[in-house]
A and B are shown apart, each in its own frame.
Chain A
Amino acid sequence: MLIEYLGLSNINGPLVVLEGVEGAAYNEVVEFTVEGGQKKLGQIVSAYKDKAVIQVFEGTDGLSLSNTRVHLTGRPMKIALSKEMLGRTFNGIGEPLDHLGPIYSDLKRDVNGLPLNPVERVYPRNYIRTGISAIDGLTTLIRGQKLPVFSGNGLPHDRLAAQIVQQASLGDAESDEKFGIVFAAMGVKYDVADFFRRTFQESGASDHVVMFMNLANDPVIERLITPKIALTTAEYLAFDCGMHILVILTDMTSFCEALREVSSSKGEIPSRKGYPGYLYSELATIYERAGIVKDGSGSVTQIPILTMPNDDITHPIPDLTGYITEGQIVLDRDLFGQSVYPPISVLPSLSRLMKDGIGEGYTREDHQDVANQLFSCYARVGEARNLASVIGEDELSTIDKQYLIFGRQFEKQFIGQRPDENRTIEQTLDLGWKLLGLLPKGELDRVNTKILDKYYRPSVYDAKTDTVNEADPV
C-alpha cells in the first residue's frame, strides 16, 4: 500500500515541514517526488502527532509547497551491502556514480548503526606499520584504532593519508586480499577526490577500495549521511567478511558545518560557536564505529581528517574529536614552511593505544623508552629555542646548543622523509638512537639504565656535510 502526501507546509533551508501526516516515525526515510518526476531522499528529524520535520539530503532546491509528493517509507535509512561494493564509487547517499548499476543484495542495514557492546570488543594490540618514522616511532597506529589527522587548509594531509594507505597495505605481511579501504569524502574539492582516486589506482589498490563521494558542490545535507554509510559498509566488510578495513573520512569539518546548518534551521539552542549541543554525541556515533570484535577476524581502523578552522586546536571540532578518538596526529604550518614533509608536530600528537602495541614481542624492547626520550628532549628543544630568541644563540650554554642541533636534525631526519620512503621500525628506532647520541648520556633520563647501556652510542654533528655520524670510539 503506497500512501503519498501531496504538498508541504513550509520549506526552510534544508528542512521541510509536512503537515497532516499520521504515524511518521523518528529517523524514518521519506521520498520526495518533485514536479517532473525527479526523486529526492529525506529523513524525519522531529516527529509530531500531525506533522513531521524532514531534512532533505539532496537540498530543497526545486521543491514547491504545492506540487511535491511525499512518500513515507516506514523504515530508517538502509543500505544494501555486498562484497561487490569493493572497487566501486558511490555518491554521498550510496547511489552508484560509476555507471555500473546498483548493488543488489538481500542484506540491508540501518546506516545509523548500533553501539558496539564494550564486552564484545577486543582491545586492539597489533600495530600497523606505516613506514613513516614520526607515526611508527612516536604515535604508533594500531589496528582497530581511530586516529585523526588534525590539519589546516593548505597542509599536505591528503598526501600523508595517501602515503599511509599505500605503505600500510603494501607493508603488510598478510595477503592483500584481506585488506580494504573505505574512503568517504565530505565536501572536499574535486581535485582532492581525484588525487585519492589516482593514488588508489597507481598503487594497484583500487580493487580493494569503496569510495563515497560528496564533493564541495554536492548538497550539503547529504554529508550528514555519508560517513554513516561508509562506516556501515566498513563494518560489514570487517565483521562479516573478515577484512581489515582502513576508513578515511575527509573532511570532518564539513560534516560538522552541515550539522550546524540543520540545527540552526531547526531553531535549536546553540552551544559553542553555534554548533548544536549534541555535536559530541553525534561525532561519537561516527568515531566509535572502529575496533575489533570478539570471534571476528576483521577490524575497522579509522583515519578521519579534519581541517582546524584558523589552525585552532581548541575549536570545538578538533577539541571534541580529540576527546573521542584515541589520539591525534597534528600537522604544523611552521614545519611545513621549513619544507619538512610530513610536517607532523610531534609534541601534541599522540596515540593512546600505542603503549600496548609496542615493545618486546610487538616492535622492539626499546621502543617506548626511545619514544619518551625523543618527546622529552624535543620539548626541551622548544625551551632552548625560546631562550635563544631572547638572549641569542651565542649566549646559550653548551648543553642548550647541543639541544638546538639535536632539534634541527630531529626535524630534518626523523620527522622529515620522502613521500615514497618506507622505513622499517628498526630503521626508525635506530635513527632515534643516532639522534639521541648527539646529547650526553646523562641527559637521557627517560630511558631504563639497561636499555641505555645497550643502545646508546655517542654521535657527532658534522656541520660541513650537515649530517650526523657515529662518534669515533675513544
Chain B
Amino acid sequence: MSENRTGIIYGIDGPVVSIKGTTPFRMGEMVYVGNERLIGEVISLSSEQTTIQVYEETTGLRPGAVVEGSGDAISVLLGPGIIHNIYDGIQRPLDQIAEQSGHFITRGLRADSLDRSRKWDITITVHPGDLVSGGTVIAETPETKSIMHRSMVPPDVPGAKVTWIAENGPHTVTDPIVKIHRDDGIDQTLTLCQRWPIRIPRPSDSHYPATEPMITGQRILDSLFPLAKGGTAAIPGGFGTGKTMLQHQIAKWSNADIIIYIGCGERGNEMTQVLEEFSELEDPRTGNSLMDRTVLIANTSNMPVAAREASIYTGVTLAEYYRDMGYDVAIMADSTSRWAEALRELSGRLEEMPAEEGYPAYLASRLSSFYERAGAMRNLNGTNGSVSIIGAVSPQGGDFSEPVTMNTKRYVRCFWGLDKSLAYARHFPAIQWMSSYSEYDHELSGWYAEHVNPLFTRRRAELISILHQESSLNEIVKLIGSDVLPDDQKLTLEIARVIRLGFLQQNAFHKDDTSIPLEKQFLMMDTIHYLYKKAKELVVMGHPMSVLKESDIFDRVIAIKYDVPNDKTELFEDYKKAIDGFYDEVIAKNA
C-alpha cells in the first residue's frame, strides 16, 4: 500500500477537515492528518469533497497540509494486556501518554495499545495437524490474577490446518505463536494479538435466550428490576440524581467476569476516582484487585469530541473480544447522551439537515446498532459468553421526552429511571419504582425460584403492589391529609414506608449495605411480608394504627439493613419472633 494515497487539506472547521476533489481513501478509513500526523477517520466521500473527522485537537493545522491514508479502518488491537489498562477513546493507553507528555495530553502522540515488550507466559492449546477455524483458542495465558486470556484464531479465518506451533513459555504479543495453512490456500502466521475494526460487530454463532440474572447486590435492581446477563439497561436521570454512583456500584459488585467502564464525555475527576478506588477495592468474587477484571476507557468532556464518538465503539469491541473467550462482560457507558451530543456536534459541522432538537436523523439507528451488540451468545468456538450494556442517559433538563432518552427506551429492555425529587430527599439509589421496568423479570423468574427461593417472585409482586397502592393513596393524602384515612390504608402507607426506607434505599457507603446477597434480599422481603401479614390481622381485629405504631417494630425492620450482617442470615428468625411478640403484645394490651 505504498502508492500515493494522500490528499491535501482544503478547509478546517473545528474537528472536521475537508479535502477538495476525488481522493483514494475509503469510507471509514483511518488517516494521518498534517505534519503532526493527527489521527482521523474518513466520514464522507463524494467526487467533489472528502470529509474527515480528526480525533485530536486541530489548532495550528493549515490548509495545504497532507493527509495520508493508512489503508485500514479505524480499529483496536486485541490481545493480552487490555485488562487493568486505562485507554482514551481510540485505545491509546493514558499512562503511556502521561510518560510521553506529562500532566497534559498533547497532540500527535503515538502509543502502542498493548505493551509490545512485555512477555506473557503462554500455553499453546493446539498441535500441528489440528484443524482450526475462526474463534478456535490457540493459546492461553493468565492476563491478570482473575482473568485467563484465551488467544483465538481471528474470526474471519475460514477452516485451516495448523502447520507449526511455538514453544510454551514467555512470548511478546507480536511473536509468531502458530502458523496455519488456510483452506483458501493462504499461509498465515498468528500472534497473540489481532486487529478488529471498531464499527463492525465481531461475529458469533447464535444468540441464546437470557436466563440468568446479572446480580448487582443492589436490592432495587436485583429484586425489583433485574437485568439478565446479555441484556441492555438504560439509566436516565438529570444531573445530580446519581447515575454515575449507580454505575460505580454495579461495576464494583456485579457478578460479571469483566467490566468495561466507558467514561464518555464525563468528568476527569470521576475517572481518577474510579481508577484510585478500583485499584484498592477487592473483587468480591475472587478477592483480587477490582482492576484485575476492569478496563477503563476515559474520554473526558474536554478531550476531542470525535474520539468521544469512537469511545463507545472501542469499548463494545473490547467487550466482544472477551465474550468470544466465553466471559460474561458488562459495559458501563457513562454517558450515552454525551456520545449522542458528539454525533450532533459533528453533524452540525457537516451541515447536515438536523432532525429533532438538532440531533441528526440517524441518531436512532446508531443507538440501536450500538445496543444490539449486546446479547448472550454461542461463540464461534462453542463457548457461551455475553455482553451486557448499561448505558447512562443524561436528558436535557431531566426531561425524559427528549430524543436520546426516547430512542434509547426503544432498544433497551431495562429502564431504571432516576428521579429528581428522590435525589433531593437523598433517597439513593434514586430509582423511581413507578416508572422503571424490566422486561426480563418473567424470563428470570425460573432462575430465582430455583436458586434463591420459590416464593421470590411472589414476594416481589406483593412489594410492588404495596408501592402502587401507596402511590394512589398519596394522591388522596395530598388533598386531605393522612389522619382521615381508614386504618387498613394507614397500615399500607406504613408498610410502604418500611419498604422504601428499609428495602429500596441502600447506603453505598455502609460496609454491609453497599452490596446485599440475594439470599438476604429475599429474607428482607419475607420479613416485611410477615410484618404486613401480622399487622393486617391486628387491624382487621379492630386495633387502631395508633396503637400499632407505639411499638418500635416498624423501625426495627427498617434498620435490618444495618443491623443484620450479610453473613448472619440466621438473625432473621429473631425478627420473626419479635413480630410475633409485637402481635401478642398488642392483643394483650387491648384485651
- A contact residues vs B (CB 8 Å cutoff): 22-28, 45-50, 75-76, 110, 112-124, 144-145, 239, 268-272, 276-278, 280-281, 284-285, 287-289, 291, 293-294, 296, 313-316, 319, 322-324, 326-328, 347-348, 350, 352-353, 355-356, 368, 371-372, 375-376, 379-380, 386-387, 390-391, 395-397, 400, 442, 445-446, 448-449
Please encode chain B, from 266 to 310, with 1 for each CB lying within 8 Å of some chain A CB and 0 for all others.
011101110110000000000000000000001011110100000
Docked-complex contact B563 and A449, CB < 8 angstroms: yes
Known A26-B59, A348-B424; 17 more pairs at CB < 8 Å: A26-B60, A28-B60, A45-B13, A47-B11, A48-B11, A49-B9, A49-B63, A116-B105, A119-B86, A120-B98, A123-B272, A276-B348, A314-B398, A350-B240, A375-B424, A442-B552, A449-B559
Determine if B588 is an interface residue (Cβ-Cβ < 8 Å): no
Of B58, B105, B272, B301, the residue contacting A284 (CB under 8 A) is: B301
A299–B275 Cα distance when bound, in Å, is 20
Docked-complex contact A348 and B269, CB < 8 angstroms: no
Docked-complex contact B345 and A278, CB < 8 angstroms: yes
Determine if B103 is an interface residue (Cβ-Cβ < 8 Å): yes
Indicate whether A288 sits within 8 Å of B302 (C-beta atoms), given known contacts A47-B63, A277-B348, A319-B397: yes
Indicate whether A119 sits within 8 Å of B425 (C-beta atoms), given known contacts A277-B358, A289-B302: no
Determine if B97 is an interface residue (Cβ-Cβ < 8 Å): yes
A356–B245 Cα distance when bound, in Å, is 13
Docked-complex contact A272 and B301, CB < 8 angstroms: no
Which B residues are CB-close (under 8 A) to A122?
A: 272
Q: How far is the CB of A473 from chain B (nearest CB, A)?
A: 21
Q: How far is the CB of A312 from chain B (nearest CB, A)?
A: 9
Query: What are 5 A-B pairs at a CB distance below 8 A?
Result: A47-B63, A48-B12, A114-B57, A144-B269, A277-B347
Indicate whether A117 sits within 8 Å of B94 (C-beta atoms), given known contacts A272-B358, A348-B424: yes
Docked-complex contact B10 and A49, CB < 8 angstroms: yes
Question: Chain B: interface secondary structure?
Answer: mixed
Docked-complex contact B481 and A280, CB < 8 angstroms: no
Determine if B185 is an interface residue (Cβ-Cβ < 8 Å): no
Indicate whether A269 sits within 8 Å of B12 (C-beta atoms), given known contacts A376-B425, A391-B480: no
A235–B239 Cα distance when bound, in Å, is 27
Q: Which 7 A-B residue pairings sit nearest by Cβ, starting from the closest?
A: A314-B397, A271-B358, A284-B301, A379-B425, A114-B104, A322-B239, A288-B302
Docked-complex contact A294 and B103, CB < 8 angstroms: yes
A221–B299 Cα distance when bound, in Å, is 29
Number of A-B pairs, beta carbon distance below 8 Å: 227
Docked-complex contact A23 and B64, CB < 8 angstroms: yes
Docked-complex contact B269 and A124, CB < 8 angstroms: yes
Of A268, A284, A442, the residue contacting B555 (CB under 8 A) is: A442
Q: How far is the CB of B353 from chain A (nearest CB, A)?
A: 8
A291–B94 Cα distance when bound, in Å, is 17
Docked-complex contact A353 and B269, CB < 8 angstroms: yes
Docked-complex contact B509 and A368, CB < 8 angstroms: yes
Determine if B172 is an interface residue (Cβ-Cβ < 8 Å): no
Determine if B357 is an interface residue (Cβ-Cβ < 8 Å): yes
| Contact count band on B | 35 or more
A123–B280 Cα distance when bound, in Å, is 14
Docked-complex contact A26 and B426, CB < 8 angstroms: no
Q: How far is the CB of A386 from chain B (nearest CB, A)?
A: 7
Quick one: which of B562-583 are within 8 Å of A by CB? 562-563
Docked-complex contact A76 and B60, CB < 8 angstroms: yes
Indicate whether A281 sits within 8 Å of B301 (C-beta atoms), given known contacts A46-B12, A271-B344, A276-B348: yes
Which A residues are CB-close (under 8 A) to B427?
A: 376
Q: How far is the CB of A13 from chain B (nearest CB, A)?
A: 18
A210–B227 Cα distance when bound, in Å, is 53
A445–B497 Cα distance when bound, in Å, is 11
Determine if B265 is an interface residue (Cβ-Cβ < 8 Å): yes
Docked-complex contact A271 and B357, CB < 8 angstroms: yes
Of B479, B481, B510, the residue contacting A396 (CB under 8 A) is: B481
Docked-complex contact A390 and B305, CB < 8 angstroms: no
Q: How far is the CB of B280 from chain A (nearest CB, A)?
A: 11
Q: How far is the CB of B71 from chain A (nearest CB, A)?
A: 26
Which A residues are CB-close (under 8 A) to B263?
A: 118
Q: How far is the CB of A222 from chain B (nearest CB, A)?
A: 19
Q: How far is the CB of B207 from chain A (nearest CB, A)?
A: 35
Of A278, A352, A380, the residue contacting B305 (CB under 8 A) is: A278
Indicate whether A387 sits within 8 Å of B105 (C-beta atoms), given known contacts A25-B61, A375-B424, A448-B562: no
Which B residues are CB-close (under 8 A) to A268?
A: 348
A356–B272 Cα distance when bound, in Å, is 13
Indicate whether A314 sits within 8 Å of B396 (C-beta atoms), given known contacts A24-B62, A118-B300, A276-B348: yes
Q: How far is the CB of B301 from chain A (nearest CB, A)?
A: 3
Indicate whether A288 sits within 8 Å of B267 (C-beta atoms), given known contacts A278-B305, A324-B301: yes
A122–B265 Cα distance when bound, in Å, is 19
A144–B358 Cα distance when bound, in Å, is 34
Quick one: which of B129-188 are within 8 Å of A by CB? none
Docked-complex contact B103 and A280, CB < 8 angstroms: no
Docked-complex contact A119 and B61, CB < 8 angstroms: no
Q: How far is the CB of B24 from chain A (nearest CB, A)?
A: 19
Which A residues are CB-close (under 8 A) to B351?
A: 269
Quick one: which of B342-401 are within 8 Å of A by CB? 344-345, 347-348, 351-352, 354, 357-358, 394, 396-399
Indicate whether A270 sits within 8 Å of B358 (C-beta atoms), given known contacts A117-B97, A118-B275, A375-B424: yes
Docked-complex contact A22 and B64, CB < 8 angstroms: yes
Which B residues are CB-close (under 8 A) to A314?
A: 396-399
Which A residues are CB-close (under 8 A) to B424?
A: 347-348, 375, 379
